Structure 1
Amino acid sequence: MTDPLISARDLTVSYPLGRSFLGEKHVLNAVDGVSLDIYRGQFFGLVGESGSGKTTLGRALLKAAPITAGNVVYRDEERGFDVQSIKGSDLKDYRKRAQLIFQDPYAALSPRMTVRDIIAEPLEVMKLTRNRKETDERVREIAAKCRLNLEHLRRFPHAFSGGQRQRISIARALVSGPRFVVADESVAALDVSIQADVLNLLKQIQRDMGIGFLFISHDLSVVAHVCDQVAVMYLGQLVETAPTRALFARPRHPYTSALLSAIPSLDPDAPKTAEKLEGEIPSPAAPPPGCKFHTRCRFAQDLCRRKVPALRELAPGHKAACHFAEEFDFTRAAAAPVPA
């Protein structure tokens, strides 16, 4: 396999919370020692509950959130960057190569700009085109890829549905010719039928342009539709990573199993198999000792409360952070069908 397009090693993003009355510093670790590799042309899924740190991780890879420790390395066929330390002209160059698709298509677009101006803005700010004619040609080209016609370019965002607005957001992210794109819950605000259309569009763009995607979602059924590789995140840490089929066929972490069991079945007569997770996700400002998931895990043992499990390889390409991944069968709790 070729070298990764983007690699993170022991990536940590922390936010200071001030001091207690005893003078102790309090820190919130939104991302806590994450390591991952994303390859060119790969659809890499990142899933987990709200508050698990998914968005912060995606923004850290884009140098849009402060990196406290660890390192992020970006390498394409032309240039490489140590993301945690870049600034100035190098940061501007990195912005051309790494882009973000926002979650909310209604809040992401300026109501005072036409669609043409919205898509053209990155080209003008980054000075990627020499004149207006060249800018318009590039805008029309990327709009066609995103299934927008010339009439759409003259309108304002209020004239479009949620799915159309998301296609405009995708076009804006792609117009600079990026190699890496973070799609942050990019279909969560859309109807199910529109979700499928946008997901198919992203897959087509991935094939045509060879872009590496980090696809952030809380919905494993959506991840199964588009992703080649999946990482499961809990309280700032990765608890399992695997190829999509392997993860669905045999989850090796109880948290993954619980997420899979919660995927709704299309059969109304199917027995209810969702595994209930007791309690709320703990605060990242005061995580529990040992395994962070032990407070909600029905398989937890005394070892889980004392020792942090390492993210270790259990099968080729399949890693899990569970002390008892080989001893317990988590597959029975997961009722999700294996993706084709």
Structure 2
Amino acid sequence: MTTDDILIAAESLTVGYPIGKGLFNRSVLNAVNGVSLSIRRGSFFGLVGESGSGKTTLGRALLKAAPITAGHARYSDGEVNYDLATLDGAALKDYRKRAQLIFQDPYAALSPRTTVRDIIAEPLEVMGITRTRSDTDDRVREIAAKCRLNLEHLRRFPHAFSGGQRQRISIARALVAGPRFIVADESVAALDVSIQADVLNLLKQLQRDLGLTFLFISHDLSVVAHTCDHVAVMYLGRLVETAPTRALFAAPRHPYTRALFSAIPSLDPDDRGRGQRLTGEIPSPLNQPTGCKFHTRCPHAIDQCRKVEPVLETSGDPSGEGHAVACHRWRELMETVPA
């Protein structure tokens, strides 16, 4: 993977929020802490982890919707090259056209008092992309058709639609401005399983047809396995493992990743009870443990884990894209502890 292939590149990215009042009672909550990753153009990049791990905050930071307090993040699509940490003014307005978000809840994301046509058209009007109503209508019809919505749907209000149809409306609104980068934040989590498959297949088709790049945030590893070509695992604001999807699912290296995989339901009754179960809760970002942040819940932790924070270490794999893991003991665990 060359530099020219990278659409989004983050290096030591940190997102912090000041909390507390007064001069002597102020602290910073780092929801994302020192994250480095690269998202290749045209890829479907998955980001997984428990609730509270910082997935949504990272996605918002890459959309310039959350404050980048340290580190760097760059967007480069061949036409422009933006440093997201300092982006503002006209460049920020232009970036809004190139990077969009698909929300999680298709019921709360749409105004109940606005027709589907006006919901989809709003980004065009706000960003000044189209000059006339006729141009706007043409663009709305074009993207609605790609999202499997017909002309009759455009005249209705959101309450007349099912969850899957509402999510297609949300997708159309995100794509109408012609973005290159899409953050899909748990975009199928609120849908039935059968509808999830339909929406996921639609996203994959749109990716191919429009040349889109996705950051797909999810807690459902079975969905990630079906959709994504590269996966990063996040815990307490940090990446603990990242790899091509096949490599990660074939041989997860970090104990946290193995525990997440153990939670995937199996139809084989002989598999019940196998694997590693997580105990306890994810620590508070305001009171993070020293050393490896996962050591308070890891059955394989040793003194080194409690004192020294591991770095994300990259090793080669057959895909040539690398398999990185932040764990002091991953090599010996791969040899002695079955996944």
* Counterparts of 1:20 and 1:123, CA distance in 2: 43
- What percent identity do the matched residue pairs reach? 74
Once the two structures are superposed, residues 180-236 of structure 1 have per-residue CA deviations (whole angstroms, 9 ceiling, x without a partner) of 000000000000000000000000011111111000001111000000000000000
* Counterparts of 1:46 and 1:124, CA distance in 2: 32
Structure 2 residue matching 1:182: 3-state secondary structure: strand
Matches for 1:1-340 after TM superposition, within 5 Å: 1=1, 2-18=4-20, 23=24, 25-267=26-268, 270-316=271-317, 317-329=322-334, 334=339
Amino acid at match of 1:8: A
* Counterparts of 1:155 and 1:268, CA distance in 2: 47
| Kept in 1: contact 2:262–2:277 (CA 8 A) | no
Amino acid at match of 1:286: N
Change (3 A) 1:274 1:187: farther
Q: Indicate the larger mover: 235-244 or 33-42.
A: 33-42
Give the length in aligned residue pairs. 333
Aligned-pair CA distance for 1:20: 8.9
* Counterparts of 2:93 and 2:29, CA distance in 1: 29
* Counterparts of 1:123 and 1:331, CA distance in 2: 57
Amino acid at match of 1:30: A
Structure 1 residue matching 2:6: 3-state secondary structure: coil
Aligned-pair CA distance for 1:88: 1.2
Amino acid at match of 1:112: R
Aligned-pair CA distance for 1:268: 5.3
TM-score by length of 2: 0.95
| Kept in 2: contact 1:249–1:331 (CA 8 A) | no
Change (3 A) 1:252 1:158: same
Amino acid at match of 1:318: H
* Counterparts of 2:48 and 2:104, CA distance in 1: 14
Amino acid at match of 2:148: R
Once the two structures are superposed, residues 56-104 of structure 1 have per-residue CA deviations (whole angstroms, 9 ceiling, x without a partner) of 0000000000111011110112111111111111111000000000000
Aligned-pair CA distance for 1:278: 1.2
Aligned-pair CA distance for 1:270: 4.3
Aligned-pair CA distance for 1:42: 0.2
* Counterparts of 1:91 and 1:330, CA distance in 2: 49
Aligned-pair CA distance for 1:39: 1.4
Change (3 A) 1:269 1:253: closer
Amino acid at match of 1:15: Y
| Kept in 2: contact 1:252–1:330 (CA 8 A) | no
* Counterparts of 2:41 and 2:337, CA distance in 1: 35
* Counterparts of 1:96 and 1:271, CA distance in 2: 47
Amino acid at match of 1:192: V
Amino acid at match of 2:66: A
* Counterparts of 1:290 and 1:25, CA distance in 2: 24
Aligned-pair CA distance for 1:38: 0.7
Structure 1 residue matching 2:20: 3-state secondary structure: strand
Change (3 A) 1:184 1:333: farther
* Counterparts of 1:319 and 1:112, CA distance in 2: 48
Q: Indicate the larger mover: 188-197 or 313-322.
A: 313-322
Aligned-pair CA distance for 1:330: 8.0
Structure 2 residue matching 1:258: 3-state secondary structure: helix
* Counterparts of 2:330 and 2:287, CA distance in 1: 26
| Kept in 1: contact 2:266–2:272 (CA 8 A) | no
Q: Indicate the larger mover: 43-52 or 274-283.
A: 274-283
Amino acid at match of 2:98: R
* Counterparts of 2:138 and 2:273, CA distance in 1: 53
Amino acid at match of 2:248: L
| Kept in 2: contact 1:257–1:330 (CA 8 A) | no
Aligned to 1:337: none
Structure 1 residue matching 2:331: 3-state secondary structure: coil
| Kept in 2: contact 1:254–1:330 (CA 8 A) | no
Amino acid at match of 1:7: A
